Structure 1
Amino acid sequence: MSKNTLPEIGRRAFLGGIFTLTATASAPYYANAAGFLRGAGDVRRIKLRSQRTGEAVDTIYWVEGSYIKEALAEINWFMRDWRENEAIGYDRRNIDILAATLRLMDTDEPYHVVSGYRSPKTNAMLSRSNRGVARNSYHMKGMAADLKLSTRSINQMAKAAVACNAGGVGKYGRSNFVHMDCGPVRTWRG
């Protein structure tokens, strides 16, 4: 997949303008907005950083009920299988879960993404060398992410994700990351 987004300055200026207009127009209602996944709000933003590729995403991807196509394309590319350089349409529900958990933890730190989408080839390779990798992983469907934060513990991250009541949450203490997916609601320790 090729990276099909607007030029950085144009896209950022465009989104900045949308954010300013939306924040101004919705300011009196923002604190009371039910939002998706408690606290997602009228404007949804996600911050991600990859230790593998050195890339970062800090984007508003949803405004007043509508996803922003260019922002989703940027997230899809960021969450790609970096080993195969392969991207798919990353599940919007999981983006919402990640954004909501960041808001619930009241942090401006970006998630450090250990793993997003995994191609079947990458997942098979990882499952051969690690018992904790599921053969039919939600990572292969673009529905999961393994994440770290330096300012929050894995217990704090997992509690925020569980509070969303929107998917699977796994705590991996030895590896110091939390798995979040938009599959059935469940919890586990890895």
Structure 2
Amino acid sequence: MRTGKNGTKKVTTDSKSTGVTRRGLLRAFAATAVIAAPTYSNAAGFLRGGGDIRRIKMYSGRTGERIDMIYWVEGKYIKESVQEVHRFMRDWRTNDVKFIDLRTIDVMAAAHNLLDSSEPYMLLSGYRSPKTNNMLRARSKGVAKNSLHMKGQAADLRLSSRSVSQVSRAAAACKGGGVGRYSGSNFVHMDCGPVRVWGR
């Protein structure tokens, strides 16, 4: 944990979120390792051969930053890479960094694999500080009071080469958490909370 000039916490961790990978995510990684066809029905049914690496590719339209890295190799998360993902997914409005739940990163990476796209995600929102979340709630009814973004457990993502429907179907096939379709705003919400799908 790091304290900023004004006494605010800049980095927080949540030990409960480390090292957890759900069966659905393993199946999704396995499906993309075993077959090349991007058919989401094939995400289930593979328990072994989940792949030797996991990779995440994103860019931020807000900060201009890009990230393209392997963060998991042969069953182990790479500490330095994961820390860089945390920093990249910070609240860009306040510059606060929070530990991003590894399950959420896995959902994002597995869905990207299923989409068979070389294009990086555009990250619209990762971690949100309570201040940012309250500001967004005042502007929109669609922002939850206790948003998983504030826990470092959610991300709002976009792929210009894939539709909201395609991205959401890939994320839902992972069965690793919640998936929200926001077609009007052209993004998909992914989190590691209860498995559910909403929106259109």
Band the TM-score falls in, shorter-chain normalisation: 0.7 to 0.9
> What letter matches 1:57 in structure 2?
I
Structure 1 Cα separation of the partners of residues 55 and 194 of structure 2: 24
Change (3 A) 1:31 1:77: same
1:41 is aligned to 2:30:
no
Structure 2 Cα separation of the partners of residues 49 and 84 of structure 1: 18
The Cα RMSD (Å) is 2.3
**Structure 2 residue aligned with 1:142:** 152
- Structure 1 residue 42, shift from structure 2 partner: 1.6
**Structure 1 residue aligned with 2:74:** 64
- Higher relative CO (Cα under 8 Å, sequence separation at least 6) belongs to 2
- Structure 1 residue 45, shift from structure 2 partner: 0.3
Structure 2 Cα separation of the partners of residues 39 and 54 of structure 1: 35
**1:31 paired residue among 20, 31, 34:** 34
Instruction: Check conservation: 1:86, 1:119, Cα contact below 8 A.
Output: yes
Structure 1 Cα separation of the partners of residues 141 and 98 of structure 2: 25
1:122 is aligned to 2:125:
no
Structure 2 Cα separation of the partners of residues 61 and 131 of structure 1: 35
Query: How far does the alpha carbon of each residue in 1:77-126 deviate from its partner, in whole angstroms, 9 at most, with x for none?
Result: 00000000000111100000000001001011100001000001100110
1:109 is aligned to 2:119:
yes
TM-score scaled by length of structure 1: 0.80
**Structure 2 residue aligned with 1:90:** 100
Change (3 A) 1:81 1:39: farther
Structure 1: 4+ residue segments shifted above 4 A: 36-40
For the residue of structure 2 that corresponds to 1:88, the secondary structure is coil
**Structure 1 residue aligned with 2:189:** 179
Unaligned runs of 5+ in 1: 3-29
1:50 is aligned to 2:50:
no
Change (3 A) 1:100 1:37: farther
- Structure 1 residue 40, shift from structure 2 partner: 5.4
**Structure 2 residue aligned with 1:168:** 178
Unaligned runs of 5+ in 2: 5-32, 36-43
Structure 1 Cα separation of the partners of residues 56 and 71 of structure 2: 7
Question: How many residues are treated as equivalent by the alignment?
Answer: 162
Change (3 A) 1:130 1:153: same
Change (3 A) 1:38 1:178: farther
**Structure 2 residue aligned with 1:17:** none
> What letter matches 1:43 in structure 2?
I
TM-score scaled by length of structure 2: 0.76
> What letter matches 2:143 in structure 1?
V
For the residue of structure 2 that corresponds to 1:180, the secondary structure is strand
